[in-house]
Amino acid sequence: MTRWRLTIEYDGGPFLGWQRQGQGPSVQQTLEEAIHRMTGERAAVHSAGRTDAGVHALAMSAHVEIEKSLTEHRLREGVNALVRPHPIALLSAEPVPDGWHARFSCIGRRYLYRILNRTAPPALGRGRVWHIGAHIDVAAMAQGAKLLVGSHDFTTFRSAHCQSESPVKTLDRLDISTKGDEIRIAAAARSFLHHQVRSMVGCLALVGRGQWGPEDIKSALDARDRAALGFNAPPDGLYFVKAVYPGG
């Protein structure tokens, strides 16, 4: 039996999300079925984060236990061949100690949110960005973002379906930058509440469009009430960038 750490890229567009569900394709199920076809084993793939429908991953971390003896090369090539035509790529696989857990060992998560800010809708970026045609004041967004960094009760920015024990999280970074007509929001924390990044981005977009002042972010946070949420940004622009573990 070997416990493997998997690093996975996927386009979230065609999936109902990471997690296996009865009603349609998920990233988890697609990977588990590929591994079953390779090994005959029914092994569960556990991830660092459970992304929603339409949310992408540049490098999701996960782990799985496999009885069959495999090389890294064989596991990677086999999974990549068997997940076709689904847009999933197993970037790497490495053996890890039994105690290593993709979710519970993880000490940091990074997300990226991409907004396309131009009048014309996306063509090449379709399903990969949130399109906002109206002018956005990036400096105002950045002011609002600063108010979210740190340890707060993020109840306002939490989905009703969130399973986290506590609504208090520490947001280490929420950096806003631009590249051409794209606005990029980079978020880092040990962990996030369900919908937290999309909820924060949705409110920051209201600030960028002038519908909220930067200080309204503080009021929303202080309200500790989901009803105070301005807007939940769509999944298309969200990317799970990476999971951080002790020692790398």
Burial bucket for residue 151 (CB in 10 Å: 0-12, 13-18, 19+): exposed
| Nearest residue (CB) to a second copy, 49 versus 230 | 49
59 versus 162: smaller Cβ distance to a second copy: 59
Cβ proximity to a second copy: between 92 and 151 the closer is 92
Q: Assess 126 for contact with a second copy (CB under 8 A).
A: yes
Rounded least distance, CB 223 to a second copy, Å: 36
Is the CB of 37 or the CB of 190 nearer to a second copy? 37
Apex 222 CA angle, 218 and 226, nearest 5:
105
Distance CA 144, CA 211 (A): 12
Catalytic residue at 137?
no
**What x/- string results for residues 20 through 59 when contact with a second copy is judged by CB under 8 A?**
------------------------------------x-x-
Least CB distance to a second copy at residue 239 (A) = 8
Residues in contact with a second copy, shown as a per-residue x/- string from 65 to 104 under the rule CB under 8 A: -----------x---x------xxxxxx------------
Question: Min. distance of Cβ 22 from a second copy in angstroms?
Answer: 24
- Residue 95 beta carbon to a second copy: minimum distance, rounded to whole angstroms: 17
- Interface with a second copy (CB under 8 A), residue total 22
Q: What is the DSSP string of the chain?
A: -EEEEEEEEE--TTSSBSS--SSS--HHHHHHHHHHHHHS-----EES--PBTT-EEEEEEEEEEE-S---HHHHHHHHHHHTTTSSEEEEEEEEE-TT--TTTS--EEEEEEEEEESSSPPSTTTTTSEEE-S---HHHHHHHHHTT-EEEE-GGGS-TT---S-SEEEEEEEEEEEETTEEEEEEEES---TTHHHHHHHHHHHHHTTSS-THHHHHHHHHT-GGG------GGGEEEEEEE-TT-
Shortest Å, Cβ 52 to a second copy? 17
Near a second copy in 180-239, by CB under 8 A: none
Give the active site residue among 52, 153, 181, 216.
Answer: 52
**Which residues are marked as active site?**
52
Binding site for a second copy (CB under 8 A): 9-11, 56, 58, 76, 80, 87-92, 118-124, 126, 128
